[in-house]
Amino acid sequence: MDFALPTFHENTTAWGPIASSSPQQFIGIPYSDFSKAQRIGRVADFTAAQQRWMRENGRSKAPEVPEEGNFNMVDTTKQKKTQRLGHRYGGGNRRGWRQQQKIQERKKGAGVRDGGASRQNRRYHKLAQARRAGWRRRWNDQDRKEASLTVKSTWKIVSEFETAHFAKLRANRPEVTDLQDCGELKHYNEAVDRANLKKPTKLKRFDNTDFYQVTAFDDPMIEAFASDPKTKVQVFSTDAVVTHMMCCARAQVPWDVKATRVGNKLFLDKRDDSTLDRLTVNETARDPPTDDDPENVNSAGRLSIECTLINQNFSQQILKPGDGIKMSSPNPFVDEEEQEEERTPANVCYRYRRYDMGGVFMVCRTELHGVLTKKGKQQKFTACALNEYDAKKAGNPPWRTSLKRAPAGVLASELKNNSMKMAKWTAASHLAGADLMKIGFVKRKSPKDAFTHQIVHTMMYEPSKFAQQINLSFDNCWGVLKMMIETLLAQDAGVYIIMKDPNKDMVRVYNVPDDEFDSGSDDSDSGSDSDSD
């Protein structure tokens, strides 16, 4: 049986049939160009051919295809479903449908009749929006803090630092030399350790005791060291100022330090009206106290005074009465001729130490509060006290429910809320060369009574181990201090102010006029650090 093969035309220039050899019945039918790499399903895609035809002919619409008898258009659009009444509204029950119609008519009529009420609702909505906006503005105003000093146009910025970069600073711990110990160290009273929540110990008030907070510029011992021509010391300061600069990256309250260059010597000191010696309460808490109502016992200013007095009283109550260890020199701030008979100086040892920070020498006045015998050795310690004022307002669990069961958890909570204060205590113990830190827990007898307190718990830590627990690096502390000292030593003689920006994590150094903070100037801070408070 004969079978005739069709003629095969090879296209050597393109893909597909040759135009001259295409069958007449297929001429004019659109097709899509495709390559062998594409999927075979693309051959049936006629939309590509339409788009190509529209591009070639400059049309924006595809040609209409006449419908034939055997060709039906398929509607692919989604049909809207008819919502049926559920059983809740009666379903096919006509009575339930009528009830729904009456409800809708009543609502419609009420909207027409109560047009004034609708307008009133819209007005209330607008007022509510304005009130919420006012709340947001007030919260923003509360977030904005005032600086500890007003920067004047005569002040010049010498340098500025971002506190976020302070964490990278490191310096070797300096070599320390004890220069002079003044005052008296009394022994620790172990009876304080028996205080607990069930049997608290009342915190006594030492109203007739003088606690001296003398500036470095007025300290007679520092003046003697600075005037000695043989000394190589360049920097003079106190532990309150030095520890604040060391731990300033944790501070949330605005602060400032006065720096005075006299010749080749630098005095780091506080201003006369500064509150740098006061202790803060819940400074680093999520919702710290404010001064919106200064007369409130739980305002930030009142809590700061209360905490400072608690620490002073606690440092004296934990000591045994009677004679202690006399230092080589008496208290440098006590004038026996002017000292009143009914008043006594606080039992504190002022230790003057010299620190060699790699060629930069600093003399600092530090404090020790007592001595105790542990394992047959006498160990010197510093004393500090955490205080609870009102658990509800502070947003913390009350100590009475958690201090006995988990004292470490209470300490961790206090560390979160008072990170700056506890870091300063640890750095001050390190500066003084203390062997131990005595931490007391003092609470109000009544949340509304800010004058009656009770000791409910005590702890004892070594400064180096406690620093690890609170994530405080002494190498970082010395790195921050050395960086600031080197910045000031590079300047000319004059008066400078190191000040934290109240609303930014920024510390700036200003050069101010020499008579800016002289007595009688009205440019001091609004607060005062008087004992009468």
Q: Quick check: is 481 in a domain?
A: yes
- Show the tokens assigned to 211: 């606690």
Long-range CB contacts for residues 194-202, cutoff 8 Å, separation at least 24: 195/454, 195/455, 195/456, 195/457, 195/458, 196/404, 196/456, 196/457, 197/399, 197/400, 197/403, 197/404, 197/456, 197/457, 200/443, 200/454, 200/455, 200/456, 201/454, 201/455, 202/452, 202/453, 202/454, 202/455
Distance CA 469, CA 463 (A): 10
- Cα–Cα distances in angstroms (integers) from residue 193 to residues 317, 441, 490, in the given order: 12, 11, 50
Q: Quick check: is 74 in a domain?
A: no
Query: Average model confidence (pLDDT) for the chain?
Result: 81
Provide the domain count of the chain: 1
Residue type, 509: V
Q: Quick check: is 6 in a domain?
A: no
Distance CA 146, CA 129 (A): 29
Of residues 526, 490, 525, 523, the one with CA closest to residue 509: 490
Residue 256 CA from chain centroid, whole number: 18
- The pLDDT tens digits of the residues spanning 271-301 come to 888 888 899 999 999 889 988 888 899 999 9
Q: Are the beta carbons of 63 and 51 closer than 8 angstroms? A: no
pTM: 0.71
Q: Quick check: is 34 in a domain?
A: no
- The pLDDT tens digits of the residues spanning 78-99 come to 555 544 444 444 444 555 666 7
Residue 106 CA from chain centroid, whole number: 57
Q: Give percent of the chain above pLDDT 90.
A: 51
In 238-350, alpha helices (H): 239-246, 300-317
Predicted pLDDT of residue 135: 42
Q: Are the beta carbons of 233 and 225 closer than 8 angstroms? A: yes
Distance CA 143, CA 153 (A): 25
Distance CA 422, CA 430 (A): 12
Q: Are the beta carbons of 318 and 149 closer than 8 angstroms? A: no
Task: Provide the b/e sequence for 354-367 (b: ≥16 CB within 10 Å).
Answer: bbebeebbbbbbbb
Distance CA 416, CA 394 (A): 12
For 510, other C-beta atoms within 10 Å of its C-beta total 22
Q: Quick check: is 114 in a domain?
A: no
- The pLDDT tens digits of the residues spanning 49-69 come to 667 667 666 666 655 554 445
Distance CA 343, CA 132 (A): 55
Residue 248 CA from chain centroid, whole number: 11
The answer on pLDDT for 47 being more than 90 is no
Q: Quick check: is 525 in a domain?
A: no
Which of the given ranges, 85-89, 120-124, 403-407, 430-434, has the highest pLDDT on average? 430-434
Q: Quick check: is 22 in a domain?
A: no
Distance CA 507, CA 485 (A): 14
Residue type, 72: N
- 163 contacts: CB under 8 Å, gap ≥ 6: 248, 249, 500, 505, 506, 507
- 441 contacts: CB under 8 Å, gap ≥ 6: 385, 386, 388, 399, 403, 410, 455, 456, 457, 458, 459
- The pLDDT tens digits of the residues spanning 177-191 come to 999 999 999 999 999
Parent domain of 338: 151-512
Residue 478 CA from chain centroid, whole number: 22
- Show the tokens assigned to 134: 């006012």
Residue found under tokens 């190498």: 475
Distance CA 464, CA 492 (A): 37
The answer on pLDDT for 127 being more than 60 is no
Q: Quick check: is 439 in a domain?
A: yes
